[in-house]
Structure 1
């Protein structure tokens, strides 16, 4: 599926990228799961090398190995070995004194489960090096409640550090019309309504229908409700991810 819309967001991100050539930038991007944050970020930056770190649920040492490999490939710098992300982040910030590059840390909120001390360590490193740095740092997350806590709670270490905030929203109706027209020019009002109601403008859900060539109301419903459908468990998965260990309480309320 081709890349749609996001012109305003790309414009903002490229303006930030331009600023980072002189002043360190820290951008927080938040948006619900499957909205297209990662795809947007990978398409937005054109003037700087882009490092992409994904914070998976694995051992911190293994994550550091992956991140070091990314730095060595993209920046052609030999870094060595690290046992903590904080150590690695300090070295990356030191590198940014002489190199202008973009660092995307995806699912940033996962550090809260992996090693919560990362936030205070990053604050100290950022505060001590940012004046000499030329880094374009983008911290991206899909769990809105956790990202809001990390960056907007006055008691948290990273409060007040971000220079820009982007809340990525679903595609609007004009974009949905464009997508449906590209794949099914003779769509009906019912087709468009079903397309909107099923996807809500969420990029991943749209992609699922496009891949299965489900462009009419009947085909969309068949795709969504068929055995093994991607959509059948998605609501549950979103609630579990958003509410963590408390999700059972919310499931009980919904059941009642």
Structure 2
């Protein structure tokens, strides 16, 4: 698949590479698995020799052997043997005093399983040799909680050492449209919605669909729900390592959120257990869910709902994990029938998210939210506000344009409009036709 977008990220990385010719740079890059971090880094650095170290779970001495071979091939240096990565990193920092090069360390958090003392060793070596060093060190990780702990916990040795921090996010909607147009110029709005519903802009999922030429709604769902599909175990593959031995509780919570039990009380009553700690970690450590308040609600309001941030994980918990017994006996046709039965309602929910994302990506608004009253009624799909220009857009989203009723929407919005008397209010309907 050809390389798409990432214009802003490439500009930042090019600038960092240029700076490294005079000053040592340490860039921490995070992003969910499969989002395209490694591909981006390999594409970004072109002015310096690039060393790429992937931290697999193997003996440290064997890792060093691989890395020495990479160094000798790329930099033309003869180094000998090493028994620890700390020794090798020290030599690289010394070498960078006379050579400008890039070192990418991928899945850096895995050192915690291989040799936890390495982080302290790296801190000492970095602090000792960074003056006069010309290294462009790019440290990349996909387990969000562990990378955050390593670099942002003030008690950890590498705290404060990164000169730049980047979070790589999924592709925006315009990029998804470009990819579809390149591969299937006659795509329909239904195709675009299915493409967004499954991939959410995650590069690896897009690549899987491109490889299989799955660009229509029918072919996309068939690809995801076919025997041996890449997608069937993907939720488990991505998250079990994050959650560890407690993963069953986390999976149960996420499954309920995906099934529209989005209030804490509803989840706790179903599971018959307190879940505050789990929700806090899912939101703040793992970055998997988002707590949303209705527009105008104050910080600390208990009128909250929870959403799964990632489109694919939302789909996986709603349909694949929930019906995992059917997966285990190979009855994927059963799941396919359930998806088709529920698709109109479920894709309508994703369509709301699509338009909220589209408005946010337009950069025309300070905030884009939804609204519901204290009773959970009078729901409004979109409230987008621009404080600078005193403008507000209040929107209703329906798959079928004929079901949009702006008069009802105006009545629902009375409480909001009263609070913003000096704002220009626009009421707007969004449907499949507007994608």
1:140 corresponds to: 140
The 1-side partners of 2:196 and 2:253 are apart by: 27
1:190 corresponds to: 190
2:360 corresponds to: none
The 1-side partners of 2:236 and 2:143 are apart by: 14
Q: In proportion to residue count, which structure has more helix? A: 1
Deviation at 1:228, TM superposition (A): 1.1
User: Secondary structure in 1 aligned to 2:131?
Assistant: helix
Query: RMSD over aligned Cα, in angstroms?
Result: 1.0
Q: What residue ranges of structure 2 are gaps of 5+ in the alignment?
A: 256-270, 272-435
1:10 corresponds to: 10
1:68 corresponds to: 68
User: Secondary structure in 2 aligned to 1:28?
Assistant: strand
Q: What does the per-residue CA deviation read over 1:159-187, in whole Å, with 9 as the maximum and x for residues that have no partner?
A: 00000011000000000000000000010
Deviation at 1:230, TM superposition (A): 0.6
The 2-side partners of 1:61 and 1:206 are apart by: 36
2:208 corresponds to: 208
1:36-75, aligned counterparts within 5 Å?
36-75=36-75
1:1-256, aligned counterparts within 5 Å?
1-254=1-254
User: Secondary structure in 2 aligned to 1:131?
Assistant: coil
Larger Rg: 2
Q: What residue ranges of structure 1 are gaps of 5+ in the alignment?
A: none
The 2-side partners of 1:32 and 1:253 are apart by: 19
Deviation at 1:253, TM superposition (A): 4.1
2:274 corresponds to: none
Q: What does the per-residue CA deviation read over 1:211-242, in whole Å, with 9 as the maximum and x for residues that have no partner?
A: 00001000000000111111111011112022
2:259 corresponds to: none
User: Secondary structure in 1 aligned to 2:28?
Assistant: strand
User: Secondary structure in 2 aligned to 1:103?
Assistant: strand
The 2-side partners of 1:65 and 1:81 are apart by: 7
Q: Specify whether residues 18 and 254 from structure 1 end up closer, same or farther in structure 2 by C-alpha distance, changes over 3 A only.
A: closer
User: Secondary structure in 2 aligned to 1:105?
Assistant: strand
What is the TM-score when the length of structure 2 is the normalising length?
0.58
Deviation at 1:55, TM superposition (A): 0.2
The 2-side partners of 1:186 and 1:28 are apart by: 40
| Greater relative contact order (CA < 8 Å, ≥ 6 in sequence) | 1
Deviates more, 1:221-230 or 1:241-250: 241-250
The 1-side partners of 2:249 and 2:77 are apart by: 49
The 2-side partners of 1:202 and 1:254 are apart by: 19
